[in-house]
Amino acid sequence: MTISSTGPIIMPAPVSGDKSTNRQSSDKRPKSVPFEAHVLIKKRLRKTERELIQLRKKEKAHLGKNEQSVIVEKKLRTKIENIRKENTHLTEKIIMLKNENLKLTHEIGEFKQKTQVIQNLQDKLDYFQHMYEEEKRRHEQTQSQVSKLNHNHIDEEHVLSIIHRMDEFIDGDIAERGELIRQLDRIRDRAVQSIRILEQEKAVNLGLLKSKQINRKIAERAALFVDVQNMFYAARQQFNGRLDFQRLLARVAVDRKLFKAIAYIVETPDIDQTHFITLLTKSGYEVKSKELRTRGDGSAKGNWDMEMAMDIISLLPKLDVMILVSGDGDFVPLVQKIKSESRVKCEIYGFEHNTAIDLKEIADKFQAIGRDLLLDTASEEN
């Protein structure tokens, strides 16, 4: 809004209720506003006009910003809704993948079971193949025996024919009857000799059969690993005695093919174990020994844990059963590895109160050593 002026501004006269005053004012002419005041007023009006324009611009800008904020808010709400939908979709996918994972885990378990069944069937097939070969060989031996019996049967027919001839010539010449008697004696001797041979062969075959049955029973290949130091202190602590390693070896070898027996010994400088090592060697053990090492602080170190583990792992392909004579819990990881990576059974022999609980639980079989495997007092003194 612009206010323009081309001349001096005429100020109205003040109104008053007094007649005399009104009369005087009507007689006078209106006074003119000074030029400086007029210019000042114009400047103020222009300034006010500019401020009004700026306010309108700011109002328009503020309205534009509000509209833009509404648009941005709508976009954000749309994005949030899309994100929620995507989150729901991803949650459904995660649930579906979890279900598929469970299904695959179940299928893997079934596959492992089927693999184990197939392996068992393969073992049975190998066993039956071996049995078939044995039966085939026995059948061939039986056929050979039958052929020998048939041969003897022919001899019996020959005897019967001679007897028949004796009946025919019973009334004949004495010399002829003597000849027939001599023939009968020769045939009888041959028959007796053949019967003896058959009985001997039968006894041999029965012995072989029993041997094969025993071999089938002791088909398991086993190896014995003895931690001598651990057993020495355990026997002394529980029974105040000493373990009889000869009886132990005989006990574990029952119904098995003992592939190897190793005794691990730690020798101390103040004790001569030569006699003990010789006794173990004569009993069938392979003896491995090392000297007790003394550290600088006065403590001593001497154990075979690492070497025993390496020997056991190296012999696993040749074994069906691994027999460990020790109560040391440090062997638990070794037994776990054997059971997880092979089909070799792990048996632990140890003293009940001196064997680690974890070692008892992880073993396929734990055999507690009792007084029956300890040295007698008399034998210990000898």
Tens-digit pLDDT profile for residues 246-263: 999 999 988 888 989 999
Alpha-carbon torsion angle 329, 335, 340, 343, nearest 10: -160
Q: Report CA-CA distances (Å) from 294 to 118, 201, 268, 291.
A: 54, 65, 10, 10
Assess whether pLDDT exceeds 50 at residue 192: yes
Assess whether pLDDT exceeds 70 at residue 89: yes
pLDDT given at position 19: 47
Is 172 among the domain residues? yes
> Do 239 and 349 reside in the same domain of the chain?
yes
In this prediction, residues 2-9 reach a mean pLDDT of: 44
Confidence of residue 374 (pLDDT cuts 50, 70, 90): very high
Report yes or no: 328 and 305 within 8 Å, Cβ to Cβ.
Answer: yes
Is 181 among the domain residues? yes
Express each pLDDT in 264-312 by its tens digit: 999 888 888 899 999 999 999 999 998 887 766 655 566 788 999 999 9
> Do 248 and 346 reside in the same domain of the chain?
yes
Is 197 among the domain residues? yes
| Range(s) of the domain holding residue 194 | 131-217
Q: Tokens for 75, please give them.
A: 């976009």
> Do 299 and 327 reside in the same domain of the chain?
yes
Q: Tokens for 69, please give them.
A: 């904020």
Q: Considering the chain, what percentage of its residues have pLDDT values greater than 90?
A: 32
> Do 176 and 196 reside in the same domain of the chain?
yes
> Do 288 and 169 reside in the same domain of the chain?
no
Indicate the number of domains in the chain: 2
> Do 227 and 185 reside in the same domain of the chain?
no
> Do 166 and 284 reside in the same domain of the chain?
no
Domain endpoint, select from 217, 243, 268: 217
> Do 330 and 247 reside in the same domain of the chain?
yes
Is 63 among the domain residues? no
In this prediction, residues 332-350 reach a mean pLDDT of: 94
Enter the pTM of the model: 0.45
> Do 212 and 138 reside in the same domain of the chain?
yes
Q: Give the strand pairing for 321-325 and 300-301.
A: unpaired
Nearest in space to 290 (alpha carbons), one of 321, 257, 266: 266
pLDDT given at position 189: 64
> Do 177 and 230 reside in the same domain of the chain?
no
Domain endpoint, select from 188, 217, 246: 217
Domain endpoint, select from 217, 238, 267: 217
